[in-house]
Amino acid sequence: MNQKDFFSTPEFQKLHPVKKQIIQELVSNQETMSPETMLSKVMTINKELSKRNLNFSKEESSLLIQILKQSMSPSDQQKVDLLMGLFHR
pLDDT of residue 8: 86
pLDDT of residue 43: 82
Give the integer Cα–Cα distance in Å for 53 and 47.
Answer: 10
Average pLDDT of adjacent 10-residue blocks, the chain of 89 residues: 77 88 79 77 84 87 80 87 76
Listing DSSP states for 27-89 in one string gives HHTGGG--HHHHHHHHHHHHHHHHHTT----HHHHHHHHHHHHTTS-HHHHHHHHHHHHHHT-
| Domain parsing of the chain, residue ranges | 3-87
Instruction: Provide CB contacts within 8 A for 49, sequence distance 6+.
Output: 18, 19, 22, 55, 56
Give the integer Cα–Cα distance in Å for 6 and 37.
Answer: 22
pLDDT of residue 71: 77
